[in-house]
Copies of this chain bind each other. A is one copy, B any other.
């Protein structure tokens, strides 16, 4: 799967339209429907996937002409990006496409969501990821561990980057792993927890990789985790707050999301395991005194997440949701600090990992 393949796919898309024009046809292409009705949970691969529903996008059609043009225009922008070997952010793609259609007062795009959707369509049409189309979202997150990579000609040792660590780029496709000496990857939602573990040199003492975003998991992080899982067979453990939002972070990394169901293969990691915080941790480590009362939005979210296909028949997870409702409370991972500043790195994590106390 090379850059040439991606370019070929884009060329093919363009040539097909040219051929239709030459035959005096009304140019048209098909795009799989990406609404909820066409997203299903595939029991076999254990990921969210797109169904077979497709809709045509036709040029001479009042309702489709603009979307047709947007997709073609975005295809041209991405082809140019590949030609000049540069990457562009989603926002930059929007500005590169944005213009008034000559001779009219019509804007080709009004909002970034339109070019974003066109890029997602192109992912499905070409079979290549947004990153392979040279389009990035925001970068976020840090990583440290016994790993040496090569990226853009630089050799980078993730274990020798001081207190900061390596800043994870938005696109990690071109990274080459030179040395990976780790038993597992610990991925956490909070940068402050990462700094705690890094200062305690948790990754060196426990021979692992620590990775963090701040809040949502970027696609760059998901791909980096996936590559470590696929190419180096590393187990991935997820560490979040004890709340439905934390559970959902795990859910997205493992099963994918509805919005990105078309990209599941390139982003989901079915082998991912949830490390904590669990209801049992709350009881075992006496964290109830640091409970935070559930708000209405939390309760609604618990109901929603617990009914997802991949959770609804999972007894272990249903038990988590049930207990959270019984407690009427959530808790933060930092509540562990009440047991001592390094309780998390010296006791909580080593104990749980040794006992293989995970949720799947």
Contact = CB atoms under 8 A, between A and B. Distances in A.
B86 A195 contact: no
Contacts of A140: 191, 214
Interface in A44-86: 81, 84, 86
Contacts of A299: none
Contact of A192 (B81, B92, B332): B92
Contact of A169 (B152, B155, B156, B163): B163
A151 B164 contact: yes
Contact of A166 (B87, B98, B164): B164
A195 B214 contact: no
Interface in A134-182: 136-142, 149-156, 160-171, 174-175
A91 interface: yes
Contact of A342 (B86, B99, B163): B86
Nearest to A139: B191
Interface of chain A, main secondary structure? mixed
A291 to B, nearest CB: 11
Contact of A152 (B162, B168, B196): B162
A288 interface: no
A199 interface: yes
A337 B88 contact: yes
A329 interface: no
Contacts of A100: 289
Specify how many copies of this chain sit in the oligomer.
2
A253 to B, nearest CB: 20
A340 to B, nearest CB: 8
Contacts of A337: 88, 91-92, 95-96
Most buried by B among A165, A174, A196, A341: A341
A9 interface: no
Interface string A284-303: 00000110000000000000
A151 B165 CA distance: 11
Given A334-B95, A337-B96, A142 B161 contact: no
A162 B170 contact: no
A338 interface: yes
A207 interface: no
Given A81-B341, A161-B154, A167-B167, A92 B196 contact: yes
A161 B166 contact: yes
B163 A166 contact: no
With most chain B CB atoms within 10 A of its CB, the pick from A88, A98, A139, A171 is A139
Interface string A262-306: 000000000000000000000000000110000000000000000
A229 interface: no
Which 8 A/B pairs are nearest by Cβ-Cβ distance? A151-B162, A89-B192, A167-B167, A142-B167, A163-B169, A92-B337, A95-B337, A164-B167
28 contacts: A88-B341, A89-B195, A89-B334, A91-B192, A92-B192, A92-B341, A95-B290, A95-B332, A95-B334, A96-B338, A139-B142, A139-B164, A139-B195, A149-B162, A151-B162, A151-B164, A154-B161, A154-B162, A155-B160, A161-B166, A161-B167, A162-B175, A163-B171, A164-B167, A165-B169, A167-B167, A170-B192, A170-B195
